């Protein structure tokens, strides 16, 4: 790109790990992103203090999955289960990081999951989190994913468990600082494979959109990519997401301020995109 990125380079990517399918999908995506951006990968496992406190209650019970046997939940059993999950999460992190040749570190903390992740987000550049989904593209993000997207103040990679960072790479450009950063990240992702790049130009009127398109195309000079450029005329988020879903699981790179405001707007993006979403700040 002819317009060099003014921001500091991406150095650390945090991924929330709990050994579930959703977090393992996020790990794979975060590792791909770390390899592309030459960043370090930090895995964080949170020993959920609410689960530990629940296990201490005298009426707490657990049901076995195989024979549906009910027995009392013991705090020692919960401690062992969490340690085992953390060990599996560490192994997964180290295996994936080795596969893509990136440096990684692993940390275990005890606390409330959302609070610990929000705190850890202040130390990194990008946070990756997955959420369990059963009905793509209408997967509903969990409270932790939504809280990170709205409160972390960092670029957030969010994806349903059945998805990954996949082509095409799709970005929205409105000339804002976040949009310029988003375009830079989208280009880096597209260059890595290489993958097709789709770019929607968002502006209040046709002359402004033409100017923004020229600005974006100038930024793409030298990137070695051919971008498909389209107008996003009326800023109708539903229409944009409908277009995104046509590409069946591509990666949407969106300036975070376009999903800012009411919580429902952010949820709409995460539910309806149908694939990985990178909310860029």
CATH number, domain of 29, equals: 3.40.50.620
Q: Are residues 86 and 135 in the same domain?
A: yes
Helices 75-100 and 21-37 sit at what angle, rounded to 10 degrees?
30
Do 86 and 48 meet the contact criterion of CB atoms below 8 Å apart? no
Q: Are residues 19 and 154 in the same domain?
A: yes
Q: DSSP letters of 105-161?
A: EEEEEEE-HHHHHHHHHTT-SEEEEEE--SSTTS----HHHHHHHHHS-SEEEEEET
Which is more confident, 265 or 129?
129
Q: Are residues 233 and 272 in the same domain?
A: yes
The values of phi and psi at residue 61, to 5°, are -135, 155
d(CA 233, CA 250): 22
Q: DSSP letters of 17-40?
A: E-SSHHHHHHHHHHHHHHHHHT-E
Highest mean pLDDT among 64-68, 217-221, 272-276: 217-221
Residue 55 maps to a domain: yes
Write out pLDDT tens, residues 52-89: 887 776 545 454 444 444 455 677 888 898 999 999 99
Residue 1 maps to a domain: no
Residue 36 maps to a domain: yes
Q: Are residues 141 and 179 in the same domain?
A: no
Q: Are residues 72 and 116 in the same domain?
A: yes
pLDDT at residue 3, as a whole number: 46
What is the number of residues in the chain? 281
Dihedral angle, C-alpha 138, 139, 145, 149, nearest 10 °: -20
Dihedral angle, C-alpha 274, 26, 228, 257, nearest 10 °: 80
Q: Are residues 45 and 126 in the same domain?
A: yes
Q: Are residues 19 and 155 in the same domain?
A: yes
d(CA 12, CA 217): 29
Instruction: Answer with the one of 93, 125, 159 that is the final residue of a domain.
Output: 159
Mean pLDDT of 210-226: 92
Do 276 and 166 meet the contact criterion of CB atoms below 8 Å apart? yes
Q: Are residues 81 and 147 in the same domain?
A: yes
The predicted model scores a pTM of 0.87
Q: Are residues 26 and 70 in the same domain?
A: yes
Its domain, for residue 131, covers 12-159
Mean pLDDT of 270-278: 86
Residue 220 maps to a domain: yes
Instruction: Answer with the one of 113, 140, 159 that is the final residue of a domain.
Output: 159
d(CA 209, CA 16): 38
Highest mean pLDDT among 12-16, 267-271, 277-281: 12-16
Q: Are residues 201 and 153 in the same domain?
A: no
What percentage of the chain carries pLDDT values higher than 70?
85
Residue 105 maps to a domain: yes
pLDDT at residue 235, as a whole number: 75
Q: Are residues 155 and 21 in the same domain?
A: yes
pLDDT at residue 261, as a whole number: 56
pLDDT at residue 39, as a whole number: 97
- Beta strands (DSSP E) in the chain are 12-17, 40-48, 61-63, 70-72, 104-111, 126-131, 155-160, 169-173, 197-202, 227-232, 251-255, 277-280
Instruction: Answer with the one of 128, 159, 190 that is the final residue of a domain.
Output: 159
Residue 164 maps to a domain: no
Do 43 and 93 meet the contact criterion of CB atoms below 8 Å apart? yes
Which is more confident, 108 or 264?
108
Q: Say how many domains are in the chain.
A: 2
On the question of a cis peptide bond just before residue 194, with omega within 30 degrees of 0, the verdict is: yes
Q: Are residues 69 and 22 in the same domain?
A: yes
Residue 2 maps to a domain: no
Residue 132 maps to a domain: yes
Write out pLDDT tens, residues 87-133: 999 999 999 999 999 999 999 999 999 999 999 999 999 999 998 75
């Amino acid at each position: 790109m002819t317009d060099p990125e003014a921001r500091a380079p991406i150095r650390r990517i945090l991924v929330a790990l709990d050994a579930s399918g959703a977090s393992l999908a996020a790990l794979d995506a975060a590792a791909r992103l770390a390899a592309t951006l030459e960043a370090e990968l930090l895995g964080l496992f949170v020993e959920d203090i609410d689960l530990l406190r629940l296990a201490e209650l005298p009426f707490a019970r657990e049901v076995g999955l195989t024979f549906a046997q009910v027995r009392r939940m013991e705090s020692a059993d919960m401690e062992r289960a969490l340690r085992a999950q953390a060990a599996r999460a560490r192994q997964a992190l180290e295996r994936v990081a080795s596969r893509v040749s990136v440096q990684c570190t692993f940390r275990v903390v005890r606390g409330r999951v959302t609070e610990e992740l929000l705190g850890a987000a202040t130390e990194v550049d990008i946070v990756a989190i997955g959420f369990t989904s059963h009905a793509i593209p209408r997967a509903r993000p969990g409270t932790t994913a939504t809280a990170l997207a709205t409160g972390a103040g960092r670029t957030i990679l969010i994806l349903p468990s059945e998805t990954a960072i996949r082509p095409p790479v799709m970005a929205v450009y409105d000339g804002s600082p976040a949009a310029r950063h988003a375009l830079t990240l989208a280009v880096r992702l597209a260059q890595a494979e290489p993958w097709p790049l789709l770019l929607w130009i968002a502006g209040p009127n046709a002359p402004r959109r033409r100017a923004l398109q020229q600005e974006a195309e100038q930024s793409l000079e030298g990137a070695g990519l051919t971008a498909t450029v389209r107008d996003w005329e009326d800023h109708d988020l539903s229409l944009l997401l409908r277009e995104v879903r046509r590409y069946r699981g591509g990666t949407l790179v969106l300036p975070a301020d376009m999903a800012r405001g009411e919580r429902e707007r952010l949820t709409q993006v995460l539910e309806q995109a149908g694939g990985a979403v990178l909310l860029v700040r």
